[in-house]
Amino acid sequence: MLKIFGAVGSGSIPVEATLTLLNIPYEIIEAVTWQDEAARKRVEAVNPLRQVPALVFPSGEIMTESAAILIDLADQHPEARLAPPIGDPKRAQYLRWMAYVSSSIYSLFWIKGDPMRIAASKEDTPRVIGRVHDRIADCWANMDRQINPGRYILGDELSVLDLYVTVISRFGPWRTRFYRTAPKMTEIVRRVDADPRLKDFWARRYPFEDGWER
Ligand SMILES: N[C@@H](CCC(=O)N[C@@H](CS)C(=O)NCC(=O)O)C(=O)O
């Protein structure tokens, strides 16, 4: 069976949500890498960067990088219509924003997870986190200004891009600020939060606890 090194409320969640929609069974190896050295060690065997998500296919092949995993899963299962296929006029913007969320936004969590990787001192860490949050908010605003959504970001069909944005926008600076900075995507992420096909999944893997929007 497909194995995923992942964690509740992490970047493995859009991948797991996609597998849930595709009805593909998978085994989770829980690894809260940003909190726990033992978890980082566990992941290191498959991903020397010690980050989740990391997938191990039944063949033994390993894949990391959330955006690439999502794009590949959607392409491998075209019948589920979770991405515009090659040749579709929406394909370029789809790939553009998948890469953007990964490189301009999600990658900044390497700093947030441990600000001392960048900060000059412990006292400097609130400033570093503040700057990272501002940058993330600016990047969401920049994306929001340039999209022309329908019910979902690319039009009227749910894609893995919606799952990706829905999950990553729950990380700091959290949803209330996202709603302020990304008004066009606000309704979309709320629609994905409320998708009945994912109700049990969210409850298990990224619950909407009191005050989750902050
Ligand atoms: N570029 C990677 C980023 C993955 C990532 O940042 N994962 C976080 C969890 S959400 C992690 O494992 N952080 C631990 C660390 O960087 O030490 C991807 O898109 O999959």
Give the pLDDT score at 212: 98
- Looking from the CA of residue 51, the nearest atom of ligand 1 is 12
Radius of gyration (C-alpha) of the chain in whole angstroms: 17
Shared-domain flag, residues 59 and 107: no
How many domains, in total, are found in the chain? Answer: 2
What pTM was estimated for this model as a whole?
Answer: 0.98
Q: How many CB atoms lie within 10 A of CB 19?
A: 20
Shared-domain flag, residues 125 and 41: no
- Looking from the CA of residue 171, the nearest atom of ligand 1 is 10
* Distance of alpha carbon 8 from alpha carbon 80, whole angstroms: 25
Shared-domain flag, residues 108 and 66: no
- Looking from the CA of residue 11, the nearest atom of ligand 1 is 10
Host domain of residue 148: 91-195
Shared-domain flag, residues 103 and 175: yes
* Distance of alpha carbon 76 from alpha carbon 119, whole angstroms: 42
Shared-domain flag, residues 148 and 183: yes
Give the model confidence (pLDDT) of 40-77 as tens digits: 999 999 999 999 999 999 999 999 999 999 999 999 99
Question: What is the dihedral angle through the alpha carbons of 151, 152, 158, 159, rounded to the nearest 10 degrees?
Answer: 170
Give the model confidence (pLDDT) of 109-153 as tens digits: 999 989 999 999 999 999 999 999 999 999 999 999 999 999 999
What residue's CA is closest to ligand 1, atom 11?
A: 51
Does residue 205 lie within any of the structural domains? no
110 Cα: distance to centroid of ligand 1 (angstroms): 7
CATH assignment of the domain containing 58: 3.40.30.10
Sign for the CA dihedral angle at 103, 18, 173, 113 comes to: negative
Shared-domain flag, residues 164 and 69: no
Residue of 153, 26, 21 lying closest to 80 (CA atoms)? 21
Shared-domain flag, residues 10 and 76: yes
**Residues framing ligand 1 (Cβ under 6 A):** 10-11, 33-34, 50-53, 64-67, 102, 106-107, 109-110, 113
